[in-house]
Structure 1
């Protein structure tokens, strides 16, 4: 319980009990700085437990006197987070634990623990604990409003931004220190990145006639701490590689007939209003059929207990890139779906993961995973198994190649299939048989739904 602060006018906000039996949480990001005037319910910080990302808001109005901790630091429940200068007394003696309500779920990566963003319920004003709030959605209701003024960043002070904004800025190569923020205390959101990017492009086009800037020497370095969701992705990827002896098997597949069938079905679907099919529903079906002969591959392995659990149902993980990192939404009972139903469900769960609306059950319980980079799929890759599964299937891009058929050189549409297996469970021979079965099904797509 927070102890009473005897210094009049000083209020110490302490990390609340966010549930799930959590004893501590990682401080992911600050959204305020020392000296900021803070309103009641204003976002203060984001913290992350093993199960959830929680946004904490201020229970009082005041001025930030001190921030207790840096991003990436573990803070114990009940430990001080923010000290405020306020009018009136400090903390009261008793503060109850708070409950959590699910807002949305995320999954860090193939092989990573599932994670969700939650809102912490607000206690009574007198009990001295912060509120958790959902992030405001861009483009929400309420009509049109004038764009808020953007505040330039203070030199030498870490800009305020959510992890998603920081990840996007890093991917775009935008230094956050140069981006004016429109949020409280100059907090940067996605709209600010868009505005900065548009301004940079305009400036580049204006100054494009000058060749001097295009060849200017670059100086300096940038150090980026790996914290929060990205840290969890890194930890779980490392854990998967450390614990699972991977064997990777690559085979090329002639998908010419499959592409012809897909084009034919899409032409028919256009007339009937059905969704357009990409190649993933066909790969999903090939996996389902191939698993009938090798159920040990549709399995999860508890290596600590030494127990392999083989699953009758095929719950297919779909590795998806999102603004918050790599997530694995799940298409449940892929064995019971036709190609259009499979395509629709892949689109639905992937979209939910990307917009942050996916539920926990949509991001857990997969038994085998597909990881595809689509048109960026390259020639070959070595996918990392989604622990505790024992196999992952990675289609590469489809490209026209010259191949020899019946002694003649012909142009065919070819695709490599890169797959990894847990060598403790799946021998190399069995891995080859599994992939060759998939190859045969995809090269003769009429057999996908025969029996």
Structure 2
């Protein structure tokens, strides 16, 4: 028998560290080379790490929430497998572990709630939640974080998802059952504690905090806001949706905006770029890979519509729908969550009047979409009701002058206000 010390493998190109989300095994468990042992999170994606050898788990190096360095000790396995060294090499070769995409495809949408604190005497009876073999209850990281903040034990909550996975709706169901027993608590008539609740910032939220802090600290933003008359575009969009149901997807404003951005970037390619401040270089790209900021159960993600320059309106709509759905259900790959050259951010109908979006580094532009609303506009000597929408776009002022920023947005505005231009492919 010998002890095999597995190192944390490189879980993504250029990744130096990863957060330990959850152990999927515990000391004393027997593992085989295909056993998933841990779930880790990078700024790209959540992945599962598999054991490289068969044996008994004798050491776990780290607690959930710890940030571990690539190449650092991850797990100790007592093994009698022939030809196994006592520890993994430092070059991160295959024996350091096998990676598979983590499955969060059953994560449900977050339902806001403010439940009362309960104790075991008042909690409804519940069976214990099913567990992974040798591990804890099955639940996505966001569900675990929410349950912890609510003071709930996941092991006592019956899961309604596949294989007994605990979902957000299971937490809501438990809270509602408590409210029926204690209606005063649900109506807010019970005095709340004066003490605050300290919640550790972990997982995707910590990565979001790190990236946004860096972007806001290092990038001098300039935000340019312009109103756009989308009356004709909305009329065209409604007609296309009515006549083209065979495409299997409904058109939103986003594919039209993406097409307009591609056409505007053809005249200003320096905006489709990455800026490296340390190397003092601006890398421009011929390919337009548009990131689409997407709210998910685990926080903000930016899936990427690759080669947007080669897609028409329907192709853009289909791919936007596909990658955003993958981001929301947790099935998006690392490649689908990285490599964007410019980003769109939209809150849909909640888009407000003006926003100040933060740039997604190392990009130099982010285009924000605000809500469409009917406003009076002066047309042909009289006020007319028009469908109006604001674009709130931010630029890295180190690389983009105000004139160039305004020119870019004005180009997009002209294309959206004259939507027939979006279908011209020989310009």
Shorter chain as denominator, the TM-score bin is 0.7 to 0.9
* TM-score (structure 2 length as normaliser): 0.75
Cα deviations across residues 83-108 of structure 1 (Å, max 9, x unaligned)?
89x999xxx962345999xxxxxxxx
Partner of 2:122 in structure 1? Answer: none
Q: Which of the residues 138, 144, 147 maps onto 1:166?
A: 144
CA distance in 2, matches of 1:178, 1:360: 29
Cα distance, 1:255 vs structure 2:
1.1
Q: Given that residues 331 and 345 in structure 1 are in contact (C-alpha distance below 8 angstroms), is that contact kept between their aligned partners in structure 2?
A: yes
Q: Which of the residues 275, 297, 300 maps onto 2:274?
A: 300
More displaced, 412-421 or 310-319?
310-319
Q: Given that residues 353 and 370 in structure 2 are in contact (C-alpha distance below 8 angstroms), is that contact kept between their aligned partners in structure 1?
A: yes
CA distance in 2, matches of 1:60, 1:223: 39
Across the aligned residues of Structure 1 and Structure 2, the Cα RMSD in angstroms comes to 4.1
Cα distance, 1:226 vs structure 2:
2.0
CA distance in 1, matches of 2:44, 2:146: 23
Return closer, same or farther for 1:98/1:301 CA change in 2, 3 Å cut-off. closer
Cα distance, 1:151 vs structure 2:
5.4
**Structure 1 residues 26-175: aligned runs within 5 Å:** 26-31=18-23, 38=29, 40=31, 45-48=38-41, 53-56=46-49, 60=55, 68-75=61-68, 94-97=86-89, 135=102, 149-150=127-128, 162-166=140-144, 174-175=150-151
**Structure 1 residues 44-443: aligned runs within 5 Å:** 45-48=38-41, 53-56=46-49, 60=55, 68-75=61-68, 94-97=86-89, 135=102, 149-150=127-128, 162-166=140-144, 174-177=150-153, 180-181=156-157, 190-204=165-179, 208=183, 210=184, 213-219=187-193, 220-270=195-245, 272-443=246-417
Q: Given that residues 378 and 396 in structure 1 are in contact (C-alpha distance below 8 angstroms), is that contact kept between their aligned partners in structure 2?
A: yes
CA distance in 2, matches of 1:316, 1:403: 32
More displaced, 307-316 or 433-442?
307-316
Partner of 2:117 in structure 1? Answer: none
Cα distance, 1:80 vs structure 2:
6.0
SS at match of 1:191: coil
Q: Given that residues 14 and 77 in structure 1 are in contact (C-alpha distance below 8 angstroms), is that contact kept between their aligned partners in structure 2?
A: no
Return closer, same or farther for 1:201/1:410 CA change in 2, 3 Å cut-off. farther
CA distance in 1, matches of 2:310, 2:247: 22
Return closer, same or farther for 1:292/1:322 CA change in 2, 3 Å cut-off. same
Cα deviations across residues 141-179 of structure 1 (Å, max 9, x unaligned)?
xxxxxxx94159xxxxx9996523235658xx7444477
Return closer, same or farther for 1:234/1:55 CA change in 2, 3 Å cut-off. same
SS at match of 1:204: helix
CA distance in 2, matches of 1:443, 1:169: 47
* TM-score (structure 1 length as normaliser): 0.72
Number of residue pairs the alignment of both structures matches: 391
Cα distance, 1:315 vs structure 2:
1.7
Return closer, same or farther for 1:75/1:363 CA change in 2, 3 Å cut-off. closer
Unaligned runs of 5+ in 1: 5-11, 101-119, 124-128, 140-147, 153-157
CA distance in 1, matches of 2:273, 2:79: 60
CA distance in 1, matches of 2:66, 2:286: 43
Cα distance, 1:399 vs structure 2:
1.7
Return closer, same or farther for 1:356/1:29 CA change in 2, 3 Å cut-off. closer
Q: Given that residues 179 and 196 in structure 1 are in contact (C-alpha distance below 8 angstroms), is that contact kept between their aligned partners in structure 2?
A: no
Cα distance, 1:397 vs structure 2:
1.3
Cα distance, 1:137 vs structure 2:
6.3
Return closer, same or farther for 1:160/1:79 CA change in 2, 3 Å cut-off. farther
